[in-house]
Amino acid sequence: MTRYSDRAVPDDVADDPEAPIRALCTAGKWGSAATAIVEKYGRELLEYLVAIARSEADGADAFSLYTEDLWRGLPKFRWQASARTWSYTLARHALARVRRDPARRPGRKIALSDAPEVARAADQVRTRTISYLRTEVKDRVAQLRDELSPEDQAILILRIDRRLEWRDVVRALAEEGEKGEELGDAEVTRRSAALRKRFERIKTDLKKLVARR
């Protein structure tokens, strides 16, 4: 297994919210690092998955697959993007696999026998988040968003709710088979420009929906 422990932690980590995670990776503590990522970003990832899947069951199954992919892929993660951005890429790809494979539904959970602390963190996030989503009363904006395509809704969530920079939105939306963190600068710039144009169109569509209501 390729290890990340030979990569030095930057000196200017004081302003890096992921510095503790990087330090765990540098020390080769993959279980602790994966647990920290799940605890830090798990709820927002699961909410995102349920929203774009339009299904609690599919979103939860994709979250389970994401957790396994995170654990298995973390030693090879090169930190060319943040762990948060990479997690959104993994989550989106996990949902694509759930949609392709009906055998993964419903309620399939991944057993991480080699990393029980990661499995516990994922279960806690899943339980708390699903409970919240089931009792949440959606406001009008959220209801209108549900009328957009899942792809457009994903762009809104990543850009507005998660406040990702456009370059990170591009990486998070990388297609399966692509490594979003490794996309070249020119390609990221091209896709960022295209997403900005699509974003303006999405806002126009939302205004039209509001007018009709």
- pLDDT on residue 75: 95
The answer, yes or no, to whether residue 14 has pLDDT greater than 60, is no
The full set of domain ranges for the chain reads 19-212
The answer, yes or no, to whether residue 26 has pLDDT greater than 50, is yes
Q: How far apart are CA 137 and CA 94, in angstroms?
A: 27
Higher-confidence residue: 144 or 94?
94
Q: How far apart are CA 100 and CA 53, in angstroms?
A: 12
- pLDDT on residue 178: 79
Tell me the pLDDT band of 5, cut-offs 50, 70 and 90: very low
- What is the tens place of the pLDDT at every residue in 44-100? 999 999 999 989 999 999 999 999 999 999 999 999 999 999 999 999 999 999 998
- pLDDT on residue 6: 33
Q: How far apart are CA 88 and CA 183, in angstroms?
A: 15
* Residue 9, φ and ψ in degrees, nearest 5: -80, 130
One-letter-per-residue 3-state SS of the chain: CCCCCCCCCCCCCCCCCCHHHHHHHHCCCHHHHHHHHHHHHHHHHHHHHHHHHCCHHHHHHHHHHHHHHHHHHHHHCCCCCCHHHHHHHHHHHHHHHHHHCHHHCCCCCCCCCCCHHHHHHHHHHHHHHHHHHHHCCCCHHHHHHCCCCHHHHHHHHHHHHCCCCHHHHHHHCCCCCCCHHHCCHHHHHHHHHHHHHHHHHHHHHHHHHHHHC
**pTM, 2 dp:** 0.79
The answer, yes or no, to whether residue 155 has pLDDT greater than 90, is yes
- pLDDT on residue 71: 93
Tell me the pLDDT band of 147, cut-offs 50, 70 and 90: confident
- Percent of the chain surpassing pLDDT 90: 60
One-letter-per-residue 3-state SS of 14-31: CCCCCHHHHHHHHCCCHH
Across the chain, what does the average pLDDT equal?
85
